[in-house]
Structure 1
Amino acid sequence: MSTHPDLSTLYPPLGLVLRAGDLTLRPLSDADMPEYAALLRRPIFADPTGPEVFPWYRAEPDERELDALRFQWRLRSGIGPEEWTLVFGIWAGGRLIGSQDVSAVRFAERRTVSSGSWLTLDAHGNGYGTLMRQAMLTLAFDHLGARRAESCAVVGNAPSFGVSRACGYVENGTQVSALRGSREVEQRFLVTPETFRRPAVPVEVEGLTPALRAMLGA
């Protein structure tokens, strides 16, 4: 029997778990990567040629998988108080259906997070997009002490706009996308603890240890 500590003890982000209704959110681990890679081959957008399609999704499936895995490992290795991104896999009924991220720069000073998310097309229409965003915001506002949460979506992306508004975001100007390979105009959104529309179900947060708080500047 191994006497070594669990990896989540050595690397605290891997021990974080959020539960809300049917959904479980937890940072992607190496053991999840084959399932995550398979997910990237499935349809995410109703119109695969639309302006809202992520530039990385336009790549051929093999390239898309490899780039996504590299990206996940790079983000994981870069988590620290000055800058961090947590990428949560979204499980519904034990099945991986998408991703929700939350990130910050100098969080201890700015108390501001930003986020992005996606679901496979067959998971749309169940309220999961709103609930997973609400779970993330509950973590950010109630447990990390964020005072602002920002998001953006390509102008015309009605489903994303709908999720933002359902969570209490308000429009906050526009910008040209910073994503590599995109020049689309995006609508910015902002939500604060005072305007946040909370989910109808409780959000349970496990694994937010002192060591993880220190890593996040919280």
Structure 2
Amino acid sequence: MPISDVIPLYRLRIDTPRLTLRLPHPDELPLLADCAREPIHAVGEEPFENPIGLGRPSWSSAPPADRARKAVQVQLGEVAKWTADNWHLELTVWLDGKPIGVQTLYAKHFPVTREAATISWLTLAQQGNGFGTEARAGVLAFAFEWLEARSCRSRSFNTNGKSVGVSERLGYREDGIDVEAVYSGVARTSRRFRMDATDWHSRSRPSVTVTGFDDDCRTWFGIATQAARD
């Protein structure tokens, strides 16, 4: 029996003009591990959060073997602890059949709030080609058009210009700032961004195709089945 018969999330697939976003099957996890071994950002940069007290650089600056292990652990862990009230959809970003990063869509109490958030990473070699914008547009399309989200959030450190640029290109609105203490013992300011469903539908978007979002899959997100909707 294939794992997709047990966990319908593995049937879910989001296709954008150049990319495919989907969960890696168990036998594909070594490919994701190899992807995570590649540099995620330039030496000396710290674009990701790492709360003070952990006493080490962020995951993205960890040794390649540590990044590979953690990427696989996150994939397995988020599926294992998934509930309709608290979920992280850790979609691998595939380009020509090879992983180039991860695009996450996550939410708490989604059936009530209809609000989700995103976070992502791409290998350094694949940055600057518009893939980050395209991958996030893919999950936003899924959120707004298939999950019928009311809003989606994102957050980036001021120093993470690439992530901020993606939010601005896609039409998010500024939503305030946060000041956080990170592993180095310094305060860093992050910018919050928000997009509502009306913002998403207010402009033309790239073509996105979603397959595998059947009634079994819908229940994992706490969304009414099609029969109940009809």
Return the TM-score normalized by structure 1: 0.90
Aligned residue identity for 1:31 = D
| Change in 2 beyond 3 A, CA 1:199/1:123 | farther
Question: Is 1:101–1:116's contact at 8 Å kept on the other side of the alignment?
Answer: yes
Alignment match, 2:69: 66
Residue pair 2:31, 2:98 contacting (<8 A) in 1 also = no
Tell me the percent identity: 31
**Contact kept? 2:46, 2:61, Cα under 8 Å:** no
Kept in 1: contact 2:38–2:64 (CA 8 A): no
Could you tell me how far apart the structure 1 residues matched to 2:203 and 2:67 are?
34
Tell me if the contact between 1:19 and 1:205 (Cα under 8 Å) persists in the aligned partners. yes
**What is aligned with 2:164?**
161
Query: Which residue of 1 is the match for residue 81 of structure 2?
Result: 78
Give secondary structure in 1 for the equivalent of 2:219. Answer: helix
Tell me the distance in 1 between the aligned counterparts of 2:104 and 2:62.
Answer: 21
Alignment RMSD (CA, Å): 2.0
More deviation in 124-133 or 198-207?
198-207
The answer as to whether partners of 1:131 and 1:199 remain within 8 angstroms in 2 is no
C-alpha distance 208-177 of structure 1, shift in aligned 2 (>3 A): farther
Residues 1:20 and 2:16 aligned together: yes
Match of 1:192 in 2: 196
C-alpha distance in 2 between matches for 1:107 and 1:176: 26
Q: Which consecutive unaligned segments of at least 5 residues does structure 1 have?
A: none
Residue of structure 2 aligned with 1:39, choices 32, 35, 56 = 35
Alignment of 1:94 onto 2:90: no
Structure-2 change in CA distance of 1:83 and 1:114 (3 Å) = same
SS in 2 for 1:134: helix
Q: CA deviation at 1:65?
A: 2.0
Q: Which moved more, 1:19-28 or 1:199-208?
A: 199-208
SS state of the match for residue 84, structure 1?
A: strand
Shift of 1:68: 2.5
Q: What is the TM-score when the length of structure 2 is the normalising length?
A: 0.86
1:185 shift after superposition: 2.1
